[in-house]
Every structure is written in structure tokens, then in C-alpha cells.
Chains A and B, each alone.
Chain A
Amino acid sequence: MRRGKISLYSGLIALSIYYGREALSLGLWVGFGPGPGLMPLLLSIIMFILACFLLLSPDGLKNTETDSFILADGKRRLIMVVLFLIISTYLMDIIGFILSTMILTYTILQMVEKWGMKRSAIVAIILPVTFWFLFAVAFKMQLPEGIWF
């Protein structure tokens, strides 16, 4: 957990430095009012101070819930779900909402939850189609379109 926290706080420090550097190039004052860079600069200074405080203070690195940042037995499940989310989002514009969410639903149920293939397939068809009817047909909302719908 400690290593994870150090990485996150260091990331915030890096973000504040980048933000501040960009802010300076945007201009701090224009005419009678603040320029586009003033607020980002102030925020980057505040973020830098706060993130440094957390990184250096013992309270900031104190354990919260668990000793490990990502639970060892949950790591695989977590990575798989994030991966499937990324893949289905990438496919959204190519194959459309229904097909991409069918893939997402099936893979989560079958590979992560370890449901049976038939049961996963039935739910993977019913859920996306129901949502498509509710939002795209009933509420006339636009959903990602691909080769289908």
C-alpha cells in the first residue's frame, strides 16, 4: 500500500509541475482581468504543496484499508474487467452498441464470474437488447452505431 501511495502522490506532484509550467506559457494577466494561466498556476501551486505534504507526512502514508494496494487474488479479475471495458469501448463505433455490449456482458459473466456458457450467452443477449429498446427505441436516444443498428 505504501508504494502505491507514494506512486500516486508522486504522480500528483508531476501533474502539478506540468500544469504550472503550461500555465506560465498561457499568460497570467490580460488587460484588467486574470489571464488564462492565472487560475491553473494557482491551482498547480496548491496541488504541489498538498501532494508534497501527503508524501512527506507520516499520516499521508498511513495504511487505510489493506496492506496491499491491489488485492493479490482480485488483481486478475480487475485487470480483465478493465481490459474488456477498453475493448468494448474501442469496438463501440465499429460494431455498434448492441454487439460490443454483448461481448462485454458475455466476457464478464463467463470469464470473470465463471458462469456457464449458455447462461452467460442468454443474459448477454437479453440485457443489451433490453437496454437498446428502452433507450434507443422508447426514449429515442442515439446510441453508438456500427455495422448493426
Chain B
Amino acid sequence: MDILLNLAMGFQQVLTPIYLLFVLLGVGFGLIVGALPGLGPTAAIAILLPLTYKSDPVLSMVMLTGIYYGAMFGGSYTSILLNIPGESSAVMTALEGYQLALQGQASKAIQMANMSSFLGGTISVFGLTVAAPLLSKAALAFGPPEYFILMMLGLSAIAFVGTGSPVKALIAGCFGLMLGTIGSEPITGAQRYTFGSYNLGDGIPFAAVAMGIFAIAEVLINIEKGLKPFSGKTEKKMRIQWPTKEELKISMSPAFQGTGIGFVLGALPGVGPTIASFLSYSLAKLQSKRPEKWGKGAIEGIAAVETANNAAVGGAMVPLLSLGIPGSSATAVLLGGLLMHGLRPGPLLFSEHPEIPWGVIASMYIGNIIAIIMGITLSVYFIRLLKLPPAVLNVIIFLVTIIGAYSINNNVFDIWVLLVFGVVGYFFKKVGIPEAPVVLGLVLGPLVETTFGQSLIMSHGSLSIFVQRPVSLVLLIILIIIYLWPLIRFSFNRLKYSNNQ
């Protein structure tokens, strides 16, 4: 009852012209920065943070939060249209979305992304409303052993993101993990494979590798084939195309599963939308009745990824608002925003300043509705990108990726990384080595290494720590089931076949 009263108070506050204007501004800005590579939600929130210094704290938090989930909405657009993941969490969207765009179904893919983002976002805000205190306590039960098994679960996606040879997918994943070892070792701080370069001290920037291996490599392949950068069909009329009833039906299960995964993983500090989207994608592919379609334009893959990364935003707000713990870089900047106004998030915030958390939560419900309306409207204009002359589109991809790479550290070195991985991606594409596992390995590698090292330090070198803790044990059993799933399915089918005989 208290929850409903507080939520009603939040809505009463937010449903006024000035608040709606700030939600609109935040979501609109978020949609644009999400679509542009390099300028993620963290940077966008940081840019606008000083401007909110003198405004009302609820008003400023409503706008800054709007940027966060707006960016998740927008992250899918350039992934689908140009094979450039605007956000790291949209890498898997590029895998299926770009294939659909090549088949002349870009609009359909974008609408599926919009609908899934809305579903994931709205359900996760509902979760934030009712389950915040409970989930925040559960999140604290996660230590390094649990995180390690979770990361191993994420790595299992390597086996599912490739479409061809599993050996090539493993090579790509292993290559990504090797890239992840470059720079300072997470436990001892020892420098590895840096060749004395201080630029490599912090490791290889993930965004530059992703843009190079996906976008630059694709453009190089198209240039080699004769400058047809968008080598697929383009819709004759730029109109909104919706997924069919059948496509919506097959996307339901991955979408709801993705929402659950995204919300729970989003609430765990340090996990965030990227890992949630990888895991949601691989689990959905594992359960799919048409796995052969994945990697070639499976629309349900977009549903799995987009629900997960948007639901992770609601999840990430759980530890921030209820415990004052930022689980990601974007929520850390949001925490900075609250502190700037002299407010300390945590259990006391709900009792002493209820208008702030409940105002933000209510604005997220409204913001998701605004985001889907804006997303559907803007998608028509985004799709017009594909109508540009091929050569101009190529140049635009080069310029956007160059700016995106440079913006990571304001360093030309990252543009060199972009180019090198563009060429590496070109050769990988030529021999049929999938690109997505490289990115997955690069993201998860350092996390796997850190959590494994921390776990062993905790247990004085004993591996038994992974089976002694209940949460870790449950996750380990799930991990074993996932790895043995093909064998289990094979045995089950064989048994069914022999029974039928």
C-alpha cells in the first residue's frame, strides 16, 4: 500500500509540464547519444551534470536518468542500420539486426528493438518499484566466486554467437580473451604485452575494437566488392514496417527471459547491460526451435538482447537508490548528481526525501512511453541513412567511427586501434571467423581473471570455494547444465526416437 501511495505521489509530481519537458529532453538526448558510437550515456550524463547544478534535484535527476535509458533505446539504431554498435550492450543487436537490414527489413528490426526496449524498460521499472529492497540485499550476497561463475556463464555465449564452425568461434573468443590480458594485470598490477607503450597500460579499448571489427571491416569488404556499402536491399518507401504476428509470437519467450536476466544482472554491481545482453542472447539461441536462423537475421535475437540491456537499467537503479552503491559508470555519475545536491542515496533517502526516488521511478514509467513514441517516429528518419549514395555512407561510417574511437581517451592511438582491428576483422570475415566472440572475450576476459584471482585469495588457493557457497554452487550447476545441454538434448532425442520405434 505504501508503495502505491508513494508511486502516486511520484506521478503527481512528474505529470506536470516542466517535468514532462525535462523527461522529454533527457530521453531525446539519450536516444541521440545512444545511437552515436563513443558518446555513451556516462559521457552524456557527465556533460549535462554541471548544467543541472542550480535546478531542482528531482528535476535534474529525472532528466539525467532519462538520458541513461534513452541511450539504451538509441544504441540499437546504428547497430541495425550500419553495423556500428552505438553501445557495447548493442553488439549482439548488430549481429541479427544488420542481417535483417541487408534483407530489406531494417524498419522491422528497429521496431522490434523499440518494442523490446519498451517492454524490458517498463517491466524493470516495475521490478524496481516492488522489489528494490529485497533485490539490493540479494545483490550483496554476490562475492568474487559468484561473479566468477557468472562471468563463465557469460563466456559460454562464445559457443552460441557464431554461425559456422565452433572451432572458429572458439578461436575468436580465445583471441578476444588474449586481447583482454593486454595492459595491467588486475591483481598484481604487472604490465603485460604493452611493449613499453603507456597507451596500452590500461588495455585495448573495447569500443575501438568493436567498431573496427564490425563496421570498418564491413566497409572494407564492401569497398573490395565494388563500393556498395549497404549491399542489401533497401525499402522502396520509407515507411514503418512492423514485425508479423508470427515473429512477435516467437519473440515473446526470449523477450521475457531477457527482461528477467537484464533486471537481475543489472542489479549486480559491475555486471551491467553488456553481459546481460550476451547471456540473454546465448540462452535464447540455446532454447530456439530454429537455431540455424540465428546470425542470419533472427528477429527474436533482437528481442532477447534489447529487453535485457534495457531491463538492466532498471536493475542498475536498485543498488543506487536503495543502498547508494553505483553498479556501473553511468550510475556512478548519477550518484555524483545526487551528492552534488547534498543528497546521499540509500535507505534514508526513501524516508527523508521520498519525492526524489519516487519521482525518478515515476518518471521512468513515463520516459519509457516517450522513448518508444520518439523511437518509432525517429526510426523513419534514421532509415533514410540507407538511401544516401553508397560512397557517402562509407565516408560517414569512417567519420563516425574515427570520432567514436578518439572520444574514448581523446587520443589518436585509439584511432590506430580502430584501423588495426578493422583490418583484422576484414581477414577474419574472409576466413569465416566470427567477430562477436572477439568482443565478448575482450569484455569478459579481465573480469574472469580478476574474480578468479580474488576467489582463490579468499580461499587461500583452494578451488573448493566455488562449491562451498550456496549461490556459487547453484550458478555452477546452471553452468554445467548449459555446457552439457547439447549432450542432454541429444540423449533425450535418442531416447524419444527409440521409444517411438
- Spell out A's residues near B (CB within 8 Å): 1, 4-5, 8, 12, 15, 19, 22, 26-27, 30-37, 39-40, 43-44, 46-47, 50-51, 53-54, 59-60, 64-65, 69-71, 73-75, 77-78, 81-82, 85-86, 89, 92-93, 97, 101, 104-105, 108-109, 112-113, 115, 123, 127-128, 131, 135, 139-144
- Chain A residue at minimal CB-CB distance from B416: A89
- Contact indicator A142/B407 (Cβ below 8 Å): yes
- Contact indicator B171/A47 (Cβ below 8 Å): yes
- Contact indicator A135/B395 (Cβ below 8 Å): no
Complex interface: chain B residues within 8 A of A4 (CB) = 427, 430-431
B398 is an interface residue with CB less than 8 A from chain A: yes
Which of A89, A115, A143 is within 8 Å of B403, CB to CB?
A143
Which of A1, A60, A97 is within 8 Å of B167, CB to CB?
A60
Interface window among B3-11, B92-100, B220-228: B220-228
- Least Cβ–Cβ distance between A143 and chain B, in angstroms: 7
Q: How far is the CA of A39 from the CA of B394 in the complex (A)?
A: 39
- Contact indicator B399/A127 (Cβ below 8 Å): yes
Interface window among B180-188, B235-243, B312-320: B180-188
Chain A's interface: helix, strand, loop or mixed, by majority? helix
B374 is an interface residue with CB less than 8 A from chain A: no
- Contact indicator B223/A112 (Cβ below 8 Å): yes
- Least Cβ–Cβ distance between A20 and chain B, in angstroms: 10
- Least Cβ–Cβ distance between A15 and chain B, in angstroms: 8
Q: How far is the CA of A36 from the CA of B223 in the complex (A)?
A: 41
Complex interface: chain B residues within 8 A of A37 (CB) = 192
With contacts A4-B430, A74-B226 known, is A36 near B392, CB below 8 A? no
- Contact indicator A33/B181 (Cβ below 8 Å): no
Q: How far is the CA of A97 from the CA of B38 in the complex (A)?
A: 16
Which of A59, A77, A82, A89 is within 8 Å of B423, CB to CB?
A82
With contacts A36-B190, A131-B403, A143-B403 known, is A82 near B220, CB below 8 A? yes
Q: How far is the CA of A69 from the CA of B354 in the complex (A)?
A: 64
Complex interface: chain A residues within 8 A of B396 (CB) = 127
- Chain A residue at minimal CB-CB distance from B47: A140
- Contact indicator A54/B192 (Cβ below 8 Å): no
- Least Cβ–Cβ distance between B211 and chain A, in angstroms: 13
B419 is an interface residue with CB less than 8 A from chain A: yes
- Chain B residue at minimal CB-CB distance from A76: B224
B174 is an interface residue with CB less than 8 A from chain A: yes
Chain B's interface: helix, strand, loop or mixed, by majority? helix
- Contact indicator A64/B430 (Cβ below 8 Å): yes
- The residues in B between 393 and 407 inclusive whose CB is less than 8 angstroms from any CB of A are 394-396, 398-400, 402-403, 406-407
Complex interface: chain A residues within 8 A of B391 (CB) = 108-109, 112-113, 115
- Contact indicator B406/A143 (Cβ below 8 Å): yes
- Contact indicator B412/A104 (Cβ below 8 Å): no
Residue in B178, B419, B422, B449 with the greatest tally of chain A CB atoms within 10 Å: B178
B460 is an interface residue with CB less than 8 A from chain A: yes
- Contact indicator B39/A139 (Cβ below 8 Å): yes
Complex interface: chain B residues within 8 A of A44 (CB) = 178
Q: How far is the CA of A53 from the CA of B166 in the complex (A)?
A: 12
Chain A to chain B contacts (Cβ below 8 Å), 24 pairs: A26-B185, A26-B192, A32-B456, A33-B453, A39-B445, A40-B181, A43-B181, A47-B174, A50-B174, A54-B167, A54-B171, A64-B430, A64-B431, A71-B224, A75-B224, A77-B227, A82-B423, A85-B419, A89-B416, A108-B395, A109-B395, A112-B227, A142-B410, A143-B403
Q: How far is the CA of A141 from the CA of B449 in the complex (A)?
A: 33
Number of residues on chain B facing chain A (CB within 8 A): 61
- Least Cβ–Cβ distance between A140 and chain B, in angstroms: 6
B160 is an interface residue with CB less than 8 A from chain A: no
- Contact indicator A12/B165 (Cβ below 8 Å): no
B285 is an interface residue with CB less than 8 A from chain A: no
Q: How far is the CA of A121 from the CA of B88 in the complex (A)?
A: 35
> What 9 A-B pairs are tightest by C-beta distance, nearest first?
A74-B224, A36-B185, A32-B461, A113-B391, A36-B190, A33-B456, A33-B453, A64-B432, A78-B224
- Contact indicator B177/A43 (Cβ below 8 Å): yes
- Contact indicator B431/A5 (Cβ below 8 Å): yes
Contact pattern, B 375-399, Cβ under 8 Å of A = 1, otherwise 0? 0000000000000000110111011
Complex interface: chain B residues within 8 A of A69 (CB) = 430
Which of A43, A75, A86, A139 is within 8 Å of B174, CB to CB?
A43
Q: How far is the CA of A85 from the CA of B185 in the complex (A)?
A: 32
Q: How far is the CA of A15 from the CA of B175 in the complex (A)?
A: 10
- Contact indicator A33/B457 (Cβ below 8 Å): yes
- Least Cβ–Cβ distance between A124 and chain B, in angstroms: 8
- Contact indicator B392/A33 (Cβ below 8 Å): no
Q: How far is the CA of A5 from the CA of B168 in the complex (A)?
A: 12
- Contact indicator A101/B399 (Cβ below 8 Å): yes
- Contact indicator B395/A105 (Cβ below 8 Å): yes
- Least Cβ–Cβ distance between A144 and chain B, in angstroms: 6
- Contact indicator B227/A86 (Cβ below 8 Å): no
Complex interface: chain A residues within 8 A of B403 (CB) = 97, 131, 135, 141, 143
